Amino acid sequence: MARDETEERDTGESLERLNQNLARMEELSKRLVAALSARKPGDAGLEGPGQELMLKTGMAIWQEALTNPAKLMERQVSYWSQTLTQYMELQKELSQGHFALPATEDAPQDKRFSNPLWQTHPFFHTIKTQYMISAEAMRSAVAELDGLSPRDKKKVAFFAGQIIDLFAPTNYLATNPDALEKAVQTDGESLVKGLENLVRDLEARHGEILPVLADPTAFHVGENLATAKGAVVFRNQMFELIQYAATTEKVHQTPLVIFPPWINKFYILDLKPQNSLIQWIVDQGYTLFVVSWKNPDASYAETGFETYIEDGYLKAIDVACAVSGQDQVNAVGYCVAGTTLALTLALKAKRGQARVKSATFFTTLSDFSDQGEFTPFLDSDFVDAIERQVEAEGYLDSHYMSKTFSYLRAKDLVYGPAVRSYMLGEPPPAFDLLFWNGDSTNLPGKMTVQYLRGLCQDNGFSADGFALMGEKLHVSDVRLPICAIACETDHIAAWKDSFLGIVQMGSKDKTFILSESGHIAGIVNPPAKKKYGHWRGPEPIGTPDAWKEAATYHEGSWWPHWEAWLSKRAGKKVPARALGNESYPATDPAPGSYVREIVTG
């Protein structure tokens, strides 16, 4: 009797918790509706493929059906055959009173389907297998579709991939065994927490569904991120210039200036002491200056590359020279800041100026003839919509860049986090890299259009020249010693495209390094971790594949090899310098104030 009473009590408590959770969900549902209603209708050109692409695709499919119906029927019959075979195998297993899929060693691993129930449970196995069959059928149909240009086919393949990722069964509660199991185990508590997370994100993003990737309360810039010691020695409307405190008794005579991209904030190079490139450079005996860009709002609508170069690059170089008492600096540009550094160097060459002794380019594009995975976002339908947006707002809100980069890796940066947060009810992780990734910045209206039209679409810098500041700038105008680091799996600045731009530069002294990993991990790769290796080879000429074939692979980080290259161009050692001088005194401690700004309009 006692046991029965205990079970009855446990059942009653469980039922009470379930009813409480259902009541909380009802209240959250009201907030959910309110949050969704706050979403402003956006430009249709920013939400999906343009009508022209859909019309072209539809016509290509129709033309194929008319001219080669056998091909279309063969594809359809193959799809039916696979589906029917799956059904028959299921029936056979069930008729024998068991269900287990024979393991296949060559089956592709997909962490979305790691729960054993996807393999052993008839319902979930059927759902997963049918999804895989349908996904492959869609990919094949796009790949075999004639009547589209290679560029249009690439765009159709991208959007088809988005549909495939969206309809994965793991994205829906009824077909996600992990979410269902946890909901049962927690008496619905996981679903309540998930709904709380969803409402939180919707309210924070004004009705737009894009999951928060990292715990926003776990990190504080200047406290447990961006902690290298230094001070702001100059500030204008474009940037703060941070000089970092020397950690060695002597430093190289020629200072180093790093220009990070203004698409994100500079502290990716100083996340924590263990992987801080900024701290590592200082520890090697360099006087280091780093630019921290202003996060623009609508008042920066007319800010273009001209302003970034004149009031940004040239001014930062002048201040670094004045503070260090030198006539020249070595410079580093990362991503779009590397592209702009190349423009700056081309301009200085036209003007006969030589205040930069050498340049290093991190994951930099200067030839945009192949736009890789960004092709869907660089055709006129999307760029036209961006131009309308910046004309109306004066700037491109950081939300659009975050969304674009996220959907390039939708499985990992959209749907995976959404499942964990909204269906499993898990809090976002305390992950510094993802925190930085979400701490994005706006882009000025004029600069955005110049970049998309003049560089990406027209490929002006490596084609006929890029008109800027009264000059026609070409990548071949860059003639000083250069070192370029590209990353093997970079989906933002593909290494082969980066290589092609370096080949066209007019420098006689060129070094090219190919790091393993991607856009961030390939650059932020400290020697102590011994994680990713790199290739070093002959002078970058010819094709990227030929260069890599002739290159030698080396274990570990490329940082020491680059520093050896840089030290030969950094002059003799002199006593370590103090922060700032009389003309440019040290003011706010690093990381400054601009990096902490949150601009919403």
Answer with the residue of higher pLDDT: 517 or 403. Answer: 517
Q: How confident is the model at residue 99 (pLDDT cuts 50, 70, 90)?
A: low
| Pairing mode of beta strands 534-536, 510-515 | antiparallel
pLDDT for residue 505:
97
Structure tokens at 124: 């979930």
Mean pLDDT of 46-71: 69
Q: How confident is the model at residue 12 (pLDDT cuts 50, 70, 90)?
A: low
Mean pLDDT of 64-84: 74
Mean pLDDT of 250-263: 97
pLDDT for residue 104:
44
Question: Cβ(194)–Cβ(425) under 8 Å?
Answer: yes
Q: Give yes or no for residue 392 having a pLDDT over 70.
A: yes
CA angle 70, 73, 106 (to 5 degrees): 115
Domains of the chain (ranges, CATH numbers): 2-99+113-186 (no CATH), 230-377+442-596 (3.40.50.1820)
Question: Cβ(436)–Cβ(267) under 8 Å?
Answer: yes
Number of Cβ within 10 Å of residue 159's Cβ equals: 16
Q: How confident is the model at residue 65 (pLDDT cuts 50, 70, 90)?
A: low
Q: Give yes or no for residue 27 having a pLDDT over 90.
A: no
Question: Cβ(399)–Cβ(208) under 8 Å?
Answer: yes
Answer with the residue of higher pLDDT: 78 or 114. Answer: 114
pLDDT for residue 298:
95
Which of these ranges, 140-149, 350-359, 539-548, has the smallest mean pLDDT? 140-149
Answer with the residue of higher pLDDT: 101 or 518. Answer: 518
Which of these ranges, 376-385, 405-414, 468-477, 551-560, has the smallest mean pLDDT? 376-385
- DSSP code, position 311: I
| Burial of 466: CB neighbours in 10 Å, binned 0-12, 13-18, 19+ | buried
Percent of the chain with pLDDT over 90: 65
| Burial of 392: CB neighbours in 10 Å, binned 0-12, 13-18, 19+ | exposed
Q: How confident is the model at residue 109 (pLDDT cuts 50, 70, 90)?
A: confident
Mean pLDDT of 205-224: 89
Instruction: Note the pLDDT tens digit of each residue in 285-333.
Output: 999 999 999 999 999 999 999 999 999 999 999 999 999 999 999 999 9
pTM here is: 0.89
Q: Give yes or no for residue 510 having a pLDDT over 90.
A: yes
Within a 13 Å sphere around the CA of 176, how many CA atoms are in the beta-carbon half?
22
Q: How confident is the model at residue 105 (pLDDT cuts 50, 70, 90)?
A: very low
pLDDT for residue 115:
93
Residues forming the active site: 335
pLDDT for residue 573:
97
Q: Give yes or no for residue 8 having a pLDDT over 60.
A: no
Q: How confident is the model at residue 596 (pLDDT cuts 50, 70, 90)?
A: very high
Percent of the chain with pLDDT over 70: 91
Q: Please state, rounded to an integer, the average pLDDT across all residues of the chain.
A: 89
Closest CA to 176 of 160, 190, 162, 159: 190
Q: How confident is the model at residue 106 (pLDDT cuts 50, 70, 90)?
A: very low
pLDDT for residue 509:
96
Instruction: Note the pLDDT tens digit of each residue in 318-327.
Output: 999 999 999 9
Question: Cβ(593)–Cβ(266) under 8 Å?
Answer: no
| Burial of 298: CB neighbours in 10 Å, binned 0-12, 13-18, 19+ | middle
Torsion of CA 180, 184, 190, 196, to 10 degrees: 80
Mean pLDDT of 353-363: 94
Question: Cβ(316)–Cβ(291) under 8 Å?
Answer: yes
Q: Give yes or no for residue 60 having a pLDDT over 70.
A: no
Mean pLDDT of 255-280: 96
Mean pLDDT of 187-202: 91
